[in-house]
Amino acid sequence: MELWFSEPHTPNVRLSIRVDRQLYSGESDLQKIDVFESPEFGRILVLDGYVMLTEKDEFIYHEMIVHVPMAIHPQVQKVLVIGAGDGGAIRELAKYPEIQQIDLVEIDEEVVKVSKVYLPKVSCALEDKRLQIYYEDGLKFVRRKENEYDLIIVDSTDPFGPGEGLFTKEFYGNCYKALREDGIMVNQHESPFYEADATACMRAHKRIVESFPVSRVYQAHIPTYPSGHWLFGFASRKYHPVHDLDEEKWLERGIETRYYTPRLHVGAFCLPGYVEKLLRKVEIRE
């Protein structure tokens, strides 16, 4: 018998991945959690029917969400990560010795538990001594924070379900406040390609532009996400995402990456014409 996992990317398009078996299926208070084993992509973490990561392509997403801001900010000591209970972003952050503290705020403890058991290659740094995990809503957590973090990484799900609050104006405003005066916020920014995703993308961009003095978007190719073309938001209180890149300094650290390079960093901010146009539409401040 053939077993396939399918995620609808639009009402008319689906991505199907052949699976060998289902390793885990469960329901937390917040969402359905599934883990599959597949011949092409290795293990796959699925929340409420949507692919969060696969072992084969997660390095692209996690390297891009972490190393881009880390190569810009001269001295990141304290980081807040919201979402990301799978630990992929933490694994990349753990490569930086200068980081002293990482606060991870994950709304669903089950995601952490399942990832620790079924996704050891992704969750391997969740025992890092610098890491403190809080199981609560990121939206509420940032409300209480002021002038505390050098970097905030928003590794959310799509803008519906448990992750919805992480795409609101209130949330971005609170992230701004929670950052130190030269802090950076990076968020997963959806895809510009299919209409519904593009709308979500524009809405998020508008709210970030209104909340931060510097706000740019960069891209990566992530095969298992809708359309394979994915965006990230770079918002900052001070630093420019390209002009403030210190290529030599980043290379000196000798951090091993498979996707990210400082050369790619610069190129990632060069967006296709139609994406620039989409974003420009919402950049005009009234």
Cβ-proximal residues to 95 (8 Å cutoff; 6+ apart), any chain: 253, 255, 256
Residue closer to ligand AG3, measured from CB, 160 or 274: 160
Q: Which residues ranging from 201 to 260 are in contact with ligand AG3 (CB under 6 A)?
A: 225-226
Contacts of 229 (CB under 8 A, 6+ apart): 191, 192, 193, 219, 221, 222
Told to check if 50 binds ligand AG3 by CB under 6 A, we report: yes
Site membership for ligand AG3, residue 114 (CB under 6 A): no
The binder of ligand AG3 chosen from 33, 52, 93, 245 (CB under 6 A) = 52
Q: Among the candidate windows 21-29, 49-57, 137-145, 250-258, which touches ligand AG3 by CB under 6 A?
A: 49-57
Stretch that binds ligand AG3, among 48-56, 125-133, 247-255, 275-283 (CB under 6 A): 48-56
Which of positions 65-84 make contact with ligand AG3 (CB under 6 A)?
A: 84
Dist CA 229 CA 193 (whole Å): 7
Q: Report if residue 57 touches ligand AG3, rule: CB under 6 A.
A: no
DSSP codes joined into one string, 244-282: T--HHHHHHTT---SS--HHHHHHHT---HHHHHHHHHH
Report the residue from 19, 35, 44, 51 that binds ligand AG3 according to the rule CB under 6 A: 51
Least separation in angstroms between residue 75's CB and ligand AG3 is 25
Please tell me which residue in 155, 182, 244, 246 is annotated as part of the active site. 155
If one asks whether residue 158 binds ligand AG3 (CB under 6 A), the answer comes out as yes
Question: Taking the complex as a whole, how short is the minimal distance between the CB of residue 126 and ligand AG3, in angstroms?
Answer: 12
Element (H, E) at 160: none
CB atoms within 10 A of CB 97: 8
Go through 236-251 and write b for each residue having 16 or more CB atoms within 10 A of its CB, e for each that does not: bebbebbebbeeeebe
Looking at the DSSP assignment, which residues form a beta bridge with residue 33? Answer: 26, 47
β-pairing, 42-47 vs 50-54, is antiparallel
| Known catalytic residue at 197 | no
Q: Is there binding between residue 92 and ligand AG3 (CB under 6 A)? A: no
Parallel, antiparallel or unpaired: strands 78-83 and 149-155: parallel
By C-beta, is 61 or 167 nearer to ligand AG3? 61
Judged by the rule CB under 6 A, the positions of this chain that interact with ligand AG3 are 7, 50-53, 61, 84, 86, 88, 155, 157-158, 188, 225-226
Catalytic residue positions?
155
